[in-house]
Amino acid sequence: MKFSNFLFPESRTPDDDGRVIRETLREAQLTDELGFDVIWLAEHHFDGICAYVDPVSFGAALATATTRAKIGFAVAQMALHHPIRFAEQMAVIDHLSGGRLIVGLGRGTAYNIYDYQGFGIDHAEAQDRFEEAEALMIEAWKGEPVAHKGRFFDVKLPALRPAPFTRPHPYLIRAAASEHGMLDIARRGQPFMMNVQPNDVTAHRMDLYRRTLRERGMDEAAIAACVDECWVWRNVFVAETDAEAERIARPAFEAMHEFRVEMRHRVYAEQGASILPMPPAGAAPPPHAQAEHALVCGSPATVAEKLAILGKTGVGGLIMQFRLGPMSWEQTAASLTLFRDQVMPALRGH
């Protein structure tokens, strides 16, 4: 199983932004030094839930500030990017990192309408923009002249420079928040990234993913290779004891989710605008916002035992967010180090 750190740092006020960005760079460097396989980056705008905002610029910084870990996007919101500009940027980061880039793609947020409003994009067009942008980007990476006239993009270029370091192009993977989205990726015969779900949903989706690959006609070796490239996200915190972990992690997790919906509710109150219907007052939060489903915390032995359950699904890698909400840099660094020193060896033993 592959182990990774998802850098998703919140910044409560504009005055905190610079400090949190600098601390996140330190967290990336520590993650690299500790031997984690991948450092993942998010993309969210205007609300402080992801302090560095843009995975492209921050990914370029990580390409020169780290030496070993791969640098992945989880995910770039492709509805907000021009595919030729993005293809150029990915090629540069691919060179700077020596081929350590994972281009994780998604259509864009399913929750925060202001992400689209800020870039003048209709959120209802997000999926169609994503499909056209991905296809155009792959075409541009071939290093040949491109002439394209589509619904959203009308471009003509002699050839993309520079060509990517990785040939034919950097590694691509899609995210799927729903079972429908996962099935669409499986029918393409591709691996996927799964967002936070209860363990039983994760196990069900991995079984369904394998079955869909078999129905597509793939042999068991090819299926195993695809499954090994799939990732699942969990929020993780490790402390010396279960009690200490609960004391620190649970309030931080709950505060993180309260902060993530704050701007969404504010925009809805001001504009009456939302992507999904707003939940009624008093409604239970979705599973990804419930600690019992989405938070893995405890002593090293407890965390290893809980994560071993995910290992039994066969999923190839864990996308783990270690810094939760208002958690400090020092608490995060201690958790990361304990995970490397005591949890990793236990999981590899499983």
Hey, how many other C-beta atoms are within 10 angstroms of the C-beta on 253?
Answer: 22
Average pLDDT over every residue of 286-306: 95
230, HSE (Cβ side, Cα atoms, 13 Å): 29
- Whether residue 129 is predicted with pLDDT greater than 90 in this model: the reply is yes
pLDDT score at 349: 75
Average pLDDT over every residue of 265-294: 93
Q: Which residues pair with 147 in a beta bridge?
A: 156
- Whether residue 203 is predicted with pLDDT greater than 80 in this model: the reply is yes
Q: What is the CA radius of gyration of the chain?
A: 20
* Residue 348: pLDDT band with limits 50, 70, 90: confident
Pair of tokens at residue 71: 């640098």
Average pLDDT over every residue of 310-314: 94
Neighbouring residues of 345: CB distance < 8 A, sequence distance ≥ 6: none
* Residue 350: pLDDT band with limits 50, 70, 90: low
Classify 14 as helix, strand or coil: helix
What percent of the chain clears pLDDT 70, i.e. is strictly above it?
A: 100
Q: Could you report the per-residue pLDDT of 79-119, keeping only the tens digit for each?
A: 999 999 999 999 999 999 999 999 999 999 999 999 999 99
Query: How does the average pLDDT of the chain come out, rounded?
Result: 97
Average pLDDT over every residue of 55-71: 98
**What DSSP letter does each residue of 262-281 carry, written as one string?**
HHHHHHHHHH---SSPPPPT
Q: Could you report the per-residue pLDDT of 271-282, keeping only the tens digit for each?
A: 999 999 999 888
Please give the model's pTM, rounded to 2 decimal places.
0.97
Average pLDDT over every residue of 59-73: 98
Pair of tokens at residue 285: 């939060």
Distance CA(69)–CA(38), nearest Å, equals: 5
Neighbouring residues of 84: CB distance < 8 A, sequence distance ≥ 6: 136, 137, 140, 146, 153, 155, 157, 160
Q: What is the CATH number of the domain that holds 110?
A: 3.20.20.30
Distance CA(72)–CA(102), nearest Å, equals: 4
* Residue 314: pLDDT band with limits 50, 70, 90: very high
Domain that includes residue 162, residue range: 2-349
Query: How far is CA 314 from each of CA 188, 196, 287, rounded to the nearest angstrom?
Result: 20, 16, 22
The count of structural domains within the chain is: 1
